[in-house]
Structure 1
C-alpha cells in the first residue's frame, strides 16, 4: 500500500507540481475578512459569497444557509455568521477548537448561523490555517470525505462517528491531521496535498 501511494504521489507531482494560483489570492482576501477587525467591518455580501464560492474547496449545496440568510435579511444573517466564525476562530481560550467546532455543529450556541455547518466551518479553518487544514471539507460523505479517502488511498478504516465516544468535532480535526501527516512533504500547500488525495482516491489500482 505504501509503495503504491508513493508511486501515485510521484506521478501526481510530476504532472501537477503546483496548485491553482487563483486560490492563493482568494485565501489572502478571506484571511483579512476573517481577522477580528475584518469580521466586524466586512460587507455582508462578502460572507454570503464565501459560503457559495467553489474557489479552493467546494462546500456543496448551501440551500439551507441561503434560505436562512434570505429569510433573516442581510444584517441579521451577517451578524449571525460573524458570531459563528468569531466563536470558531477566537472563542474562549479555555474551550479547545474541537469543542468549539462541535458546539457549532450541534447548534449548541444560540447565535450559530443556520446552515453554516461542517463544510463551511472547515472551509473557514482552511483559509485561516492553510498550513494545517486540508481542503477536504467533510469527515464522511458518499462523494468522498476524510474517512473515505483514508480507506481508498491508505487502506485505513477511520471510526464511524456513531460507534465511538469522540465528538464529530474531534474526529474532524484528528482525521485532518492524520491525512496531513500521511500525505507528507513535497506539496506547495495543503490545498495542493488535498487535490492529490482527491485524485488518488479514484485510482485504487495505482494507475492513472
Structure 2
C-alpha cells in the first residue's frame, strides 16, 4: 500500500494486508490480529455518482428555482425597458454570416471572411482576437482557414452522438487536433448566435467581471448558476444551458435575441433585487 496502515486496536503496522480495493479509492485492510477496517481517503471524483447528460441537465438551475419576488422584479424591469425601447435596430444582420457558416458556404468562402468574422465586433464583441490573429499569421491563410473551417464544422455539424454542449467543450479544451487557436468561447458562442438566432442570446461569455450569463442570472433573477471547472459542469454545458435558462426567463416581447440580450444587460445594472 502506498500509505502506511496501522491497526487501530494493536497500534501495529506489521503484517497488514489489503483485503479489497474499494471503488472510491479506499482499501479494506486486515491486520494479523484479525481486525479489519477501511483505510485511506475517498476520492470524491470516484465516489460521486455518475449522471447521464439528461440527469445533469435536469439538475441544472432553471426558471423553477427563481424566487417569485425576484421574478416579479425582473418583470417590472422588463416592462420599463420595453416602454423605453419597444423596438430594436440590430447592429448587424446575421444573414451574411449565416451563409458563411452554411454547409456549402463554410467550405467555399474566401478565407478573409472567416478572419473578418473573428475580428468583427458588430452584434457582439467576440473578445480579444490577438491569439487567433497571431495563430492565423503564423499558420498562414490556407492552413488557418482550414483549421477554422474544421472548428466551426465540428461545432455545428459534429457527430450526432455527441451533444452540442460537449462538442463545444471539446473545442474549448483544445482536445481536438483541428481546433483553431484563439477561436474559443466568445467566438464559438457568436457562431451559435449567427446560426441559431432564435435560440442563442449574444451574451458571449459565461462568467466575467463585466457581466456574463452567470452574473446576469444572479443580478437580474437572483439565480445562482454553477461555477465552471468541475467534471460534470463543464464550460461547454454551462454556456449552452445558461443561455437556455436566460432565454426562457427573458420570455417574449422582444424583437429578437439581440433585443432580449440588451434588456438583460440593462437590467443587471439597475437597483438591487427585492428585499
Question: TM-score when scaled to structure 1?
Answer: 0.94
Q: Which residue, out of 251, 254, 268, partners 1:201?
A: 268
- Could you tell me which runs of 5 or more consecutive residues in structure 2 were left unpaired when the two chains were aligned: 1-69
Deviations along 1:19-51, one digit per CA (max 9) or x if unpaired, are 22442x2x0110000001000111111111111
Q: How does 1:58-207 map to 2 (within 5 A)?
A: 58-163=125-230, 165-205=232-272
Give RMSD over aligned pairs: 1.3
Q: Which residue, out of 83, 92, 116, partners 1:14?
A: 83
- Structure with the bigger percentage of strand: 2
Q: Which moved more, 1:126-135 or 1:67-76?
A: 67-76
Secondary structure, aligned partner of 2:208: coil
Q: For the pair shown, which has the larger CA radius of gyration, 1 or 2?
A: 2
More relative contact order, 1 or 2 (CA 8 Å, 6+ apart):
1
Counterparts of 2:87 and 2:121, CA distance in 1: 19
Q: Is residue 97 of structure 2 the alignment partner of residue 30 of structure 1?
A: yes
How many residue pairs get matched? 204
- Could you tell me which runs of 5 or more consecutive residues in structure 1 were left unpaired when the two chains were aligned: none
Question: In the alignment, is the contact (CA less than 8 A) between 1:131 and 1:189 conserved in 2?
Answer: yes
Question: In the alignment, is the contact (CA less than 8 A) between 1:152 and 1:204 conserved in 2?
Answer: no
Q: Could you list the runs of 4 or more consecutive aligned residues of structure 1 that deviate by over 6 angstroms after TM superposition? A: none
Distance 1:21 1:148, change over 3 A: closer
Q: Is residue 72 of structure 2 the alignment partner of residue 3 of structure 1?
A: yes
Structure 1 residue 2: deviation in Å?
Answer: 2.1
- Structure with the bigger percentage of helix: 1
Deviations along 1:37-84, one digit per CA (max 9) or x if unpaired, are 000111111111111111111112111111111111111111100000
Question: In the alignment, is the contact (CA less than 8 A) between 2:99 and 2:105 conserved in 1?
Answer: yes
Question: TM-score when scaled to structure 2?
Answer: 0.72
